[in-house]
Structure 1
Amino acid sequence: MSLREERKQQSRQALLDATLVLSSQGRAFSSISLREITQAVGLVPAAFYRHFKNMDQLGLELLDQAALHIKGVLHQLGPTDFSLNQLADKVELFFQKVDAYPQAWIFLSAERWGGSMFLRQGIEREIHYLVEDLLHGLQQIPALQPLQSPVELRALAQILLPLALNWAMDWIHLQTQIHPASDQAAFAHFKAQCLTQLQLLFCGVLSSPSTRTTDLQ
Structure 2
Amino acid sequence: MSPVKPRQSRKGNREKLMSAALELLAEDQSGLSGISLRRITKACDLSPPAFYSHFASMEELGLALVSDVGATLRALLKGVRDADTEASVVAASVDAAFSYIRGNESLFILIARERAGSSALIRAAIRNEVRQIVEEMASDFHERGLFERFSLPEKKAAVAAVVSLGLALIPDLLDLSRDSPAEGDALLSQFEYQVQFILS
TM-score normalized by the length of structure 2 = 0.83
CA distance in 2, matches of 1:135, 1:38: 41
Give the number of the structure whose alpha-carbon radius of gyration is greater. Answer: 1
Instruction: Kindly state the Cα deviation for residue 124 of structure 1 after the two structures are TM-superposed.
Output: 1.9
Contact 1:18 1:37 (8 Å CA) reproduced = yes
Among 99, 105, 115, which residue is 1:96 paired with? 99
Cα 1:112/1:138, change in 2 over 3 Å: same
CA distance in 2, matches of 1:120, 1:200: 29
Equivalent residue for 1:7?
9
Instruction: Kindly state the Cα deviation for residue 141 of structure 1 after the two structures are TM-superposed.
Output: 4.3
The higher-RCO structure (CA 8 Å, 6+ apart) is 1
Cα 1:71/1:90, change in 2 over 3 Å: closer
CA distance in 2, matches of 1:195, 1:138: 17
Per mean C-alpha deviation after superposition, the further-off stretch among 33-42 and 71-80 is 71-80
Contact 1:20 1:107 (8 Å CA) reproduced = yes
Instruction: Kindly state the Cα deviation for residue 102 of structure 1 after the two structures are TM-superposed.
Output: 3.0
Equivalent residue for 1:206?
none
Per mean C-alpha deviation after superposition, the further-off stretch among 90-99 and 12-21 is 90-99
RMSD of aligned Cα (Å): 2.4
Letter of the structure 1 residue corresponding to residue 154 of structure 2: E
Cα 1:194/1:23, change in 2 over 3 Å: same
**Unpaired runs of at least 5, structure 2:** none
Contact 1:24 1:106 (8 Å CA) reproduced = yes
- 2:59 maps to 1:60: no
Instruction: Kindly state the Cα deviation for residue 161 of structure 1 after the two structures are TM-superposed.
Output: 1.3
Cα 1:125/1:86, change in 2 over 3 Å: closer
Equivalent residue for 1:214?
none
Equivalent residue for 1:176?
178
Cα 1:115/1:38, change in 2 over 3 Å: same
Equivalent residue for 1:106?
109
Letter of the structure 2 residue corresponding to residue 120 of structure 1: R
- 2:90 maps to 1:78: no
Equivalent residue for 1:16?
18
CA distance in 2, matches of 1:157, 1:54: 34
Counterparts in 2 of 1:1-217, with a 5 A limit? 4-25=6-27, 26-79=29-82, 81-83=85-87, 87-148=90-151, 150-178=152-180, 180=181, 184=182, 186-203=183-200
**Unpaired runs of at least 5, structure 1:** 204-217
Between the two proteins, what is the percent identity of the paired residues?
Answer: 25
Letter of the structure 1 residue corresponding to residue 199 of structure 2: F
CA distance in 1, matches of 2:53, 2:96: 38
Cα 1:174/1:130, change in 2 over 3 Å: same
Contact 1:28 1:115 (8 Å CA) reproduced = no
Q: How many residues align?
A: 195
CA distance in 2, matches of 1:90, 1:151: 20
Per mean C-alpha deviation after superposition, the further-off stretch among 128-137 and 99-108 is 99-108
SS of the equivalent of 2:86 reads coil
TM-score normalized by the length of structure 1 = 0.77
